[in-house]
Structure 1
């Protein structure tokens, strides 16, 4: 009996040792992430707002973690192609991140009855930045301010032409909300399909469309060149990049809430430790002066939101955009 007890004690000690070792190895594996290159998928072409923010973040995180965070552009389908790759085709092991943004998430879900990507396909990890919506017309357009322009559109909706990448694009939701607020007939206006801001703003500057609705950063080059003028920005405060341009609210047009944002998400099933590590690193990044300077240079405002808050906000936003899309006939 004594021999059996000694044998049992030895076996128990060995089993506990294995268990402790396993836990230790697991902790080491988690703390070692990332142990190799991470692909940061940008579902749009290089040079746009989402791409520039992602590159600034990748540069910071590469230095922070000592591993390359490589931006890979996979454009197409209004952001859906790259999103599908990151969320449905790549492994959910934390080595494929998605540069997620409003157009290929909440607006996509609201604008399409069967969207290729939904909120349920991803873990919203952290929001990084936001962009204020700006309403731009040709530099020599006759309207002196946004209130006068809105009154003209309300009286002549059939004369309003506006640019967008498609009926469920960012600009479409911005225009639809504004027309709803001022009581203009959305159905009588005409959308001109473009490839994005780099295509649509020149169309307005050249007189081929009346209005372009994009972020301040996207319109800034043509504004600085004197080709267009911005009549208003949305939100309840002026843009820090255009302090002399009044908000729509200041001009008596209240309730414009559409705004641009971008952040990071991962496929469902990605290890919780990976989500937490990105979340914490981005929170730290948003306090880094060099990173904040990079955001300022591309006219993007820091807008950090941790995973839980980010997820709740996207759910609320999706509900709102779904109602707007249904009401205005955008949903297809």
Structure 2
């Protein structure tokens, strides 16, 4: 009796078909249990605000519980590390700000995880411009006058942020290096106490996200000097961008993204991506984006990865040039 011998290419094709069938089955069965969505910051912050409508709708779509696990600490590193070391099966997800993904790898001397290797991007969820705001007593009506004022202080000028390593902090450092300024960073534990001190005149200026600072600008308690987006914000149409004010290429955002463990089957990632983009187009989430000052930014995993790569290089350069560190 003869034994059938298959060419090498046929065997390879058969193995590929088996693998594809396994991936398809895995995606069709996912989720098989409760899905944990880690938010590496305390409840109530922007990452948490973005996460809640997403997880609620995903639970409805897939018929399994999606539970938010707030794991704050170490600038988002603790919760991010938890996902980086989870099983690559799509049952542990991450919704985070940009800091642990593209800033902390350069800012911290040692990290227990490598975002580029340990995490798989799903999609960006929001992209929020920052505002350079000043106390009304600061004698500068525009960015040029503020830069001149800061330079006249010979290093005796402070700027506040919502914490070391945050996009607000690093945007301040980008401002320093771009405009060749000498300023003292005053970090706070969150936006709220920083804004309180700004309104009280205890610090003269700060960068913060549009959603956090806008109510106080409208109330006249602080004044907006410039926004960090490429175009003017619809919420602040009279406030120029840094680019308009003479700093070409100056862009910075507080963005929020959706991730899972690297090695998760691509078919599972694609399912999560597809359903998340549908959720992002609902009136509820669209309103949330508008309130935050973000346009729709849902994208493919590959495009999101390319954006992350460019952001990582950008902030690594800022960290190096500024000498910023938190260790």
Does residue 34 of the first structure (1) align with residue 17 of the second (2)? Answer: no
Partner of 2:10: none
For these two proteins, the number of residue pairs brought into alignment is 312
Partner residue of 1:107 out of 103, 106, 116: 103
Query: With structure 2 as the length reference, what TM-score do the two structures score?
Result: 0.87
**Kindly tell me: are residues 297 and 67 of structure 1, through their superposed partners in 2, closer, same or farther at Cα, counting changes over 3 Å?**
farther
Distance in 2, matches of 1:62 and 1:141, equals 49
**Kindly tell me: are residues 243 and 35 of structure 1, through their superposed partners in 2, closer, same or farther at Cα, counting changes over 3 Å?**
farther
Distance in 2, matches of 1:266 and 1:215, equals 25
Distance in 2, matches of 1:179 and 1:230, equals 18
Distance in 2, matches of 1:298 and 1:22, equals 42
Partner of 1:77: 74
Contact 1:137-1:211 at 8 Å conserved across structures: yes
Within 5 A, what are the aligned runs for 1:137-286? 137-185=134-182, 189-286=183-280
Q: Which has the larger radius of gyration?
A: 1
Contact 2:81-2:113 at 8 Å conserved across structures: yes
Question: Which digits, 9 at most, give the CA deviation of each residue in 1:257-315, with x for residues without a partner?
Answer: 22111111111222222211112222223322332112223433321231111112211
Partner of 1:319: 313
Does residue 96 of the first structure (1) align with residue 96 of the second (2)? Answer: no
Q: Shift in Å at residue 172 of structure 1?
A: 2.2
Contact 1:105-1:117 at 8 Å conserved across structures: no
SS class of match (2:244): helix
Distance in 2, matches of 1:155 and 1:261, equals 33
Question: Which digits, 9 at most, give the CA deviation of each residue in 1:197-251, with x for residues without a partner?
Answer: 1121111111121111111012123334432121110122011222232212222
RMSD: 2.5
**Kindly tell me: are residues 155 and 273 of structure 1, through their superposed partners in 2, closer, same or farther at Cα, counting changes over 3 Å?**
same
SS class of match (2:168): helix
Distance in 2, matches of 1:253 and 1:23, equals 50
Contact 1:217-1:300 at 8 Å conserved across structures: no
Q: Shift in Å at residue 122 of structure 1?
A: 0.7
Query: With structure 1 as the length reference, what TM-score do the two structures score?
Result: 0.86
Contact 2:84-2:119 at 8 Å conserved across structures: yes
SS class of match (2:296): strand
SS class of match (2:172): helix
Distance in 2, matches of 1:127 and 1:72, equals 19
Contact 1:43-1:75 at 8 Å conserved across structures: yes
Does residue 136 of the first structure (1) align with residue 133 of the second (2)? Answer: yes
Distance in 2, matches of 1:93 and 1:22, equals 15
Question: Which digits, 9 at most, give the CA deviation of each residue in 1:99-152, with x for residues without a partner?
Answer: 132111111012123223322111112111100011111134322122211221
Structure 2 unmatched ranges of 5 or more: 2-16
Question: Which digits, 9 at most, give the CA deviation of each residue in 1:32-64, with x for residues without a partner?
Answer: 322332111111111111111111211232233
Q: Which structure carries more helix by proportion?
A: 1
Partner of 1:13: none
Runs of 4+ in 1 over 6 A off after TM superposition: 20-26
